[in-house]
Amino acid sequence: MTEAYQPETLAVRAGRVQSQFNEHSEAMFLTSSFTFDSAEQAAKRFIGEEPGNIYARFTNPTVTMFEERLAALEGAEQCVATASGMSAILAACMGLLKAGDHIVASQSLFGSTVNLFNNVLKKFGVETTFVSATDVAQWQAAIQPNTKLFFLETPSNPLTEISDIAAITAVAKSCGALLAVDNCFCTPILQRPLELGADIIIHSATKYIDGQGRVLGGAVLGSKKLMEPVYGFLRTTGPTMSAFNAWVFLKGLETLKIRMDAHSANSLELAQWLEQQPNVSRVFYPGLPSHPQHKLAMQQQKTGGGIVAFEVKGGKQAAWRVIDNTKMLSITANLGDTKTTITHPATTTHARISPEARAAAGITDGLIRIAVGLEAPIDVQNDLAHGL
């Protein structure tokens, strides 16, 4: 689709591949391999002289449809779909970095991302320096002669800190480094990092892109030049998105605009209510004027998004009491679901990083993260009130 369609149209129509049956809904191609018309055609496809499907580890029409649709939404030349959000980050790093390279990363990252940088990439000779998500001067000061990649989440997990993508892009370009932005919390409906200067976008499609907590998947997006080694890593090592999961994501994308608008509206209402509760000491939501980066958030994003974090008075025991006294909310660390989820980051999503790293990221024992779903806001408020 080359026309300048709106995002909600692209989410429904982009990336269509029809078979000889002219199906209206996208087809699932559940096959491990594909046949060829001749030995010559097989040879040409294997060496890349002729386009076409070869083996489902790296070519599948349903996965291709998902990749093309998400690329259209993000304004990217190419998307490489992966088995999960974490495998997307791994594929990007392994495809674009080598031993001896250096990463500058936000200290406000998902716990598994921190562990990937600290415990996995480090074994292969890639070092990481963690800096403030919001202090651009720290990104500049962390640059080394071998710095090749800047990596951040915005909004961050779980405190919804907002990084200035354009400003950090300028710092990255000053030293020839690439900037990768995890756009999981916003999706391309609310934020398009490439338009702000980023080079690479990362997604955990498991979250809002699916939207109903059904399947795992991830994606890396950028220019064709940058995606070539990422795709090469996937082709060789196989952290591949299945055709079934890709089909689920295609269906999820069709309602993404509607859902993100509703998640955002419900989240703002909940955040405003939480600010009025006497046992809540602080609320973190980019749509609130009280958020430290509210102005920047409203420049970079269309809305505040669907994640609300808040601190309760009394530390871990008080936070657990709030969680345990809910009757409707789902106690799970997943997010982006139609069902509202609640979790205690210090003992779940960020439990495997050091106490020092949690403290540096501002994750206190009293912090609770809510991924606001599509229920009536008053019912979510009443459920939280049992523990508050």
User: Is 163 within a domain?
Assistant: yes
Residue 265 CB neighbours (<10 A)? 16
Tokens, residue 273: 């209510």
Q: Which of 197, 223, 254 is the last residue of a domain?
A: 254
Distance CA 163, CA 179 (A): 12
Distance CA 63, CA 46 (A): 19
Helix (H, G, I), strand (E, B) or coil at 31: coil
User: Is 108 within a domain?
Assistant: yes
Rounded to 10°, the helix 256-274/377-385 angle is 40
- Judge if 80 and 103 occupy the same domain: yes
For the CA atoms of 114, 116, 122, 124, the dihedral, rounded to the nearest 10 degrees, stands at -160
Q: Which of 254, 269, 288 is the last residue of a domain?
A: 254
User: Is 247 within a domain?
Assistant: yes
Which residues have CB under 8 Å from 256's CB, separation 6+? 11, 73, 187, 189, 208, 209, 211
Contact 150, 180 (CB under 8 A): yes
- Judge if 263 and 246 occupy the same domain: no
pLDDT in 10s for each residue of the chain, 388 residues: 556 899 999 999 998 777 777 888 899 999 999 999 999 999 999 999 999 999 999 999 999 999 999 999 999 999 999 999 999 999 999 999 999 999 999 999 998 999 999 999 999 999 999 999 999 999 999 999 999 999 999 999 999 999 999 999 999 999 999 999 999 999 999 999 999 999 999 999 999 999 999 999 999 999 999 999 999 999 999 999 999 999 999 999 999 999 999 999 999 999 999 999 999 999 999 999 999 999 999 999 999 999 999 999 999 999 999 999 999 999 999 999 999 999 999 999 888 888 888 888 889 999 999 999 999 999 999 999 999 9
138-300-156 Cα angle (round to 5): 55
Tokens, residue 193: 């990092």
Q: What range does the domain containing 352 cover?
A: 257-385
User: Is 1 within a domain?
Assistant: no
